[in-house]
Structure 1
Amino acid sequence: MPQNRDLLAVLIDADNVSPTKIGAVLAEIASIGTASVKRIYGDWTRPQLSTWKSAASEHVIQPIQQFANTVGKNATDSALIIDAMDLLYTARFQGFCIVSSDSDFTRLAARIREEGITVYGFGEKKTPEAFRNACDRFTYLEVLDEPTAERASEVIEAVPQGRLRGDTKLISGLRTSITAASDEDGWANLAAVGGLLRKQQPDFDSRNWGYAKLSELVRATDLFLVEALPAGGLRIKDRRKSGG
């Protein structure tokens, strides 16, 4: 699990992310480390990026100019990739945060991970599976939106118990991870289960089902026992193995 002292490089594809999302993204990043480098890439001569200028200034993100020299070629992606490799070779960072929904960064994420460096991806739900799976952890921008009066209708509602139980991928992933992390009595540390789920499914996040914490999600299924540990934290057990 990363510590707040870990240094992170945050690289943002301005063509692929809305400035309204960046505050929530940076708040999420602050929970996993320190963003010592924050850069955003785009052709700042284009009027489409005008809304990004105030957001970049507010959050102290360095804009990197990249002209679109050829129609149909994404020079912005190339600039971000080159910078990422330059930063990787400094060996200063414990993690890279790639903020984009573009599959063009799939190989970049895989290459960074080959060096033993953690990759955090942030993008919309439309992000291709290849890029999501190339990251150690992938977070959907939609779950990071903070509720407001104007956008209350966009808040992700908690999925009810019946639909959770019918989500075979979710339930199977939980049971497999519990089995892998359990002791002789069938109990597993919930944090360890969450870590295993992330390894199997980089985009796994309890907020995708409308629950702020993994413990809330597993309790909502009512298929597992959840107990507090004396030293802190929680443990989990499949009810099928407890006679419950």
Structure 2
Amino acid sequence: MAELQPRIALLIDADNAPAEKIDEILTELSTFGVIDIRRVYGNWTKHALIGWQNKLLEYALRPMQQFDYSKHKNATDMAMTVDAMELLYTEKPDAFGIVSSDADFTPLVMHLRFKGAAVYGFGAAQTPKPFVNACSRFLYLEALGEDAVLESAAEAVAAVAKPVAAAGAAPQQGGGNGAPPAGPGDKPAATCVAVGPVEGSCLRVPRNQLRQDTRLMNLLRSAVNATQDEDGWARVGAVGTQIGNKASFDARNYGYATLTKLLAATQAFDLRDEGTSRVAVRDKRAARARSGN
């Protein structure tokens, strides 16, 4: 008998979410289970929602009409909250997908999680931190779709540049002004967009910014420390699980496709068995302390 997949209810705040990202949202959310409830909330008399209207039939989205009760203030968030609570106690989905950049949903997310439902959030890079942190996992919309392709293009450029540099044909890094060469996590300036936890950062957050992010580094180090063996090595899979149980986290919000790549980019950890399911990580600082160096 096939194992039953978790049931997910997807609730979208059309006033605070771009319609062109719906395919990427569904693709991401479908990795967690079956999305059998799909609702989009908004005042459908507004021309601004025409983009969402064009997506309804294609993606089997149910439009939920909510008129504005007062000028310059939509009532979508309250309608979504009421429906989420009703679904929680009637349909009892295993998880919710909340698409919005509105921090007003923070109390709802906290209650859903308290009742045992996972919550996967999707929103813009400027989404307030309380909402982001309340979710089981939150993914910035800028990290999905076309923006993510920019990273792959930049990687291809870097791959071509390496043999050129080895042949001595590459221009001097740092522009000859004494600036240090780019680190392994740095990207060409052409790929910079405002995305991720570091405001105004490049699509892939460079190494120096990662190392200066105290919250991130403490999160990574504490997860490695909590799951390490007697030699200080921890399976990256276990590290990811520990982080997920503790906070809303996704390496793609920093511009890295996997947690392994993010750990490597910080240059604060040793890695072994990369490219395999046994990939493990060790804190360099703790390793030096253990060896007495």
**Could you tell me whether the CA contact under 8 Å between 2:38 and 2:61 is conserved in 1?**
yes
Report the TM-score, using the length of structure 1 for normalisation.
Answer: 0.88
**Could you tell me whether the CA contact under 8 Å between 1:4 and 1:31 is conserved in 2?**
no
Task: Return the letter of the residue paired with 1:84.
Answer: A
* Cα distance in structure 2, aligned partners of 1:51 and 1:89: 32
The answer for the alignment partner of 1:226 in structure 2 is 271
**Could you tell me whether the CA contact under 8 Å between 1:24 and 1:146 is conserved in 2?**
no
**Could you tell me whether the CA contact under 8 Å between 1:4 and 1:34 is conserved in 2?**
no
Runs of 4+ in 1 over 4 A off after TM superposition: 151-156
The answer for the alignment partner of 2:236 in structure 1 is 190
Q: 1:64-106: per-residue Cα shift (whole Å, max 9, x none)?
A: 1111132244321121111111110025311001100011111
1:13-52 aligned within 5 A: 13-52=13-52
The answer for the alignment partner of 1:164 in structure 2 is 210
The answer for the alignment partner of 1:124 in structure 2 is 124
- The one of the two structures with greater contact order (alpha-carbon pairs below 8 A, sep at least 6) is 1
Gaps of 5+ in 1: none
1:236 aligns with 2:281: yes
1:1-244 aligned within 5 A: 5-147=5-147, 153=191, 157-202=203-248, 204-228=249-273, 232-243=277-288
SS at match of 1:173: helix
Task: Return the letter of the residue paired with 1:79.
Answer: A
Report the TM-score, using the length of structure 2 for normalisation.
Answer: 0.74
Gaps of 5+ in 2: 154-189, 194-201
Change over 3 Å in CA distance of 1:108–1:154 after alignment to 2 = same
Q: 1:187-211: per-residue Cα shift (whole Å, max 9, x none)?
A: 1121221222234431x22122221
Task: Return the letter of the residue paired with 1:179.
Answer: N
* Cα distance in structure 2, aligned partners of 1:190 and 1:4: 27
User: Over aligned residue pairs, what C-alpha RMSD do you find?
Assistant: 2.5
**Could you tell me whether the CA contact under 8 Å between 1:4 and 1:32 is conserved in 2?**
no
Count of residue pairs the alignment pairs up: 239
SS at match of 2:98: strand
Identity among equivalent pairs (%): 43
* Cα distance in structure 2, aligned partners of 1:226 and 1:38: 41
Q: Which has the larger radius of gyration?
A: 2
